Amino acid sequence: MNGSSLLVDTNIVILTLGGSKRLAEYVEGRKLFLSVNTEIEALSYPGLTTAGRHSVAAYLSRCTKFGLSEKVKNETIGIRAKYKVKLPDAIIAATAVVYGLPLLTADAGFVKLSDILEVDLFKQ
């Protein structure tokens, strides 16, 4: 993958749709990827209205989605065992590792995985 490709965390989807112009500009023109876990989290976000669900679905449709492959599953197991992170975060991190993509996130908790993962931390 090249430098214009990013795996986006769920919080990036939510922040972009929430109106973050700086974030929208940052991802403009980039190839966006996401984990199936991000799709699930974003579409089941608490309090999401029908209109909000349509907005999320439209955003997700411009991203390439990665499922839970055998490689991602095995990487997830290793990340959970070594770093003691929550399963959803481990799946997202494992997806970035397996596909060689930097992870764009607003969650500073991913920084502890920076020895295996390129973390592009978005600060609001």
pLDDT above 60: residue 1: no
Which amino acid appears at position 30 of this protein? R
6: nearest Cα among 109, 71, 101: 101
For the chain, the domain total comes to 1
The domain of 13 spans 5-121
At 2, the pLDDT band (50, 70, 90 cuts) reads low
Whichever domain contains 67, its CATH number is 3.40.50.1010
92: nearest Cα among 13, 10, 5: 10
pLDDT (tens digit per residue) in 27-72: 999 999 999 999 999 999 999 999 999 999 999 999 999 999 999 9
Percent of the chain at pLDDT above 70? Answer: 98
Q: Copy the structure tokens of residue 71.
A: 């490689």
